[in-house]
Structure 1
Amino acid sequence: MILEVCCGNIESVKGAIEGGADRIELCRDLELDGLTPHREMIREAVRLCRPAGVVVHVLIRSREGHFVYTDAEVVEMAGEIRMAVAEGVDGVVVGALTADGDIDLDACRRWVEAVGPTDGHRCRNITFHRAFDVCRHPLEAMEQIAQVGCNRILTSGQQPTAEAGIPLLRQMVGKAHELSATMGRPFTILCGAGVTPENAAHILKATGATEIHGSLRTGLVSDAEKIRTVKTACR
């Protein structure tokens, strides 16, 4: 089981490390559902996480609101990706839709290109974020996301919480196994939204997933004790 903790500040990063998180998703302005963190924040998170063996993924989202981006916004986020990669992150988290609710493949390709070659490079992960949860035709969209170069989808199964989304998440995990076999590389489903110490193990067992995502906060800071509880419950 891999536990990813969403961290909106450096104190949360410290809590995630203390609690034994496997990976963090770093962002800022969680009240806006997360935006691209500043360079200094990324640098400090990498500095703290690297010695602890905690993987650092960075959310790339230039503004709040919907996931239909202009060409200028796509270019801006490509620059943010290059900045994050230069700071030594292990992965980036992106997502874009067309006005019709389909995956914006052109934007995703440009962002994958901005990450650069993975061979011999530390940044090897590209996660498609919860824009997926408002897309049309989710199983078809999975194939497109995999083919464009992403290797993970963060999703609640198109429901308000991952627990409510278990039926679709179970289907998605099965399809992810098929895509992994077809492509010859791992493609995974990361279950997120409304994850708590009380329901994390149930979500994983009911879906067959091996990765789960939550902020696990008390107030504005990720709670090391809640993180430890989830890790213990999901062993």
Structure 2
Amino acid sequence: MNLKKIEIACFNLESALIAQKAGADRVELCADMSVGGTTPTIEMIKQARENLTIDLYVMIRSRGGNFVYSEAELEQMKLEIETIKKLGVNGFVFGVLNEEKTIHIEQNIALVELAKPLPCTFHRAFDAVLDYEKALEDVISCGFSNILTSGTFPNVMEGKEVLQQLVIQANNRIEIMSGGGLRSTNISELDKLVNANWYHSSAITDGSEIANPEEIIQLKKKLQS
């Protein structure tokens, strides 16, 4: 039986340590929760790596807002991947779109190639695409290992039918990781329908920026039951 896994989005070192202690399988480290996550500082990544034994994925995103990047922003992202790769992280999280809300194949491939041999997650930029079936094939063709998505809806419960479709279409060629409004209160219902291997949550329940250890424990428990 395939044990299902949980990734916790962490916006500070404290959350990352809580996530590990509470049984998370992986940490996605980001800065700036207010814009949905950006590249964390080198110092924060170093500290996280020194203190975590579980896998550490790092977000590469130069700013909040849309996912269409200028040449300068792309160069910055490339530099960040090259620098952070040397710090012993386990993977990267990013995503680049065209103006037309399609996957920017060329630019994503360039970043995925730079990250090799580390795996990459295409993040919730996916939720902005207009044609998710084509976008899924495009993301696979770029060489990503995972897609973090709420099924192109504001949250996973609204997007659950699309998430189910994505898992079926992906057919184990890529991991579809459901995230966006995922909580211990809805993970059982979601998993029954979607049946993915990975789920993603910030596990923040009190309006702060710190993960709630009890919430992580419950997410894991309900996923395994």
Structure 2 length normalisation: TM-score?
Answer: 0.95
The equivalences for 1:168-187 within 5 A come to 168-177=162-171, 180=173, 187=174
Tell me the residue number matched to 1:104: 104
Whether contact under 8 Å (1:79, 1:114) holds in the other structure is no
Out of 181, 184, 203, the position equivalent to 1:216 is 203
Tell me the residue number matched to 1:183: none
| Counterpart Cα distance in 1 of 2:125 and 2:95 | 6
Tell me the residue number matched to 1:157: 151
Tell me the residue number matched to 1:148: 142
| Counterpart Cα distance in 2 of 1:158 and 1:212 | 16
The equivalences for 1:1-80 within 5 A come to 1-50=4-53, 54-80=54-80
Using the TM superposition, give the Cα deviation of residue 136 of structure 1 relative to its aligned residue in structure 2, in angstroms. Answer: 2.1
Using the TM superposition, give the Cα deviation of residue 32 of structure 1 relative to its aligned residue in structure 2, in angstroms. Answer: 1.5
Q: Does 1:92 align with 2:92?
A: yes
Tell me the residue number matched to 2:83: 83
| Counterpart Cα distance in 2 of 1:113 and 1:157 | 26
Structure 1 length normalisation: TM-score?
Answer: 0.91
| Counterpart Cα distance in 2 of 1:143 and 1:160 | 22
Aligned-residue RMSD, C-alpha: 1.0
Tell me the residue number matched to 2:128: 134
| Counterpart Cα distance in 1 of 2:90 and 2:114 | 14
Whether contact under 8 Å (2:164, 2:195) holds in the other structure is yes
Whether contact under 8 Å (1:9, 1:221) holds in the other structure is yes
Structure 1 regions of 5+ residues with no counterpart? Answer: 181-186
Using the TM superposition, give the Cα deviation of residue 201 of structure 1 relative to its aligned residue in structure 2, in angstroms. Answer: 1.7
Whether contact under 8 Å (1:67, 1:95) holds in the other structure is yes
1:83-136: per-residue Cα shift (whole Å, max 9, x none)? 2211111000010110111101111011012113x2xxxx2x100000010112
Q: Secondary structure at the match of 1:222?
A: coil
Using the TM superposition, give the Cα deviation of residue 224 of structure 1 relative to its aligned residue in structure 2, in angstroms. Answer: 0.9
Aligned length: 219
Q: Secondary structure at the match of 2:52?
A: helix
| Counterpart Cα distance in 1 of 2:110 and 2:34 | 28
Whether contact under 8 Å (1:204, 1:211) holds in the other structure is no
Tell me the residue number matched to 2:113: 113
Report percent identity of matched pairs: 35
Q: Secondary structure at the match of 1:221?
A: coil
The equivalences for 1:178-197 within 5 A come to 180=173, 187-197=174-184
1:172-212: per-residue Cα shift (whole Å, max 9, x none)? 000111x62xxxxxx11000000111111211111111211
Whether contact under 8 Å (1:19, 1:223) holds in the other structure is no
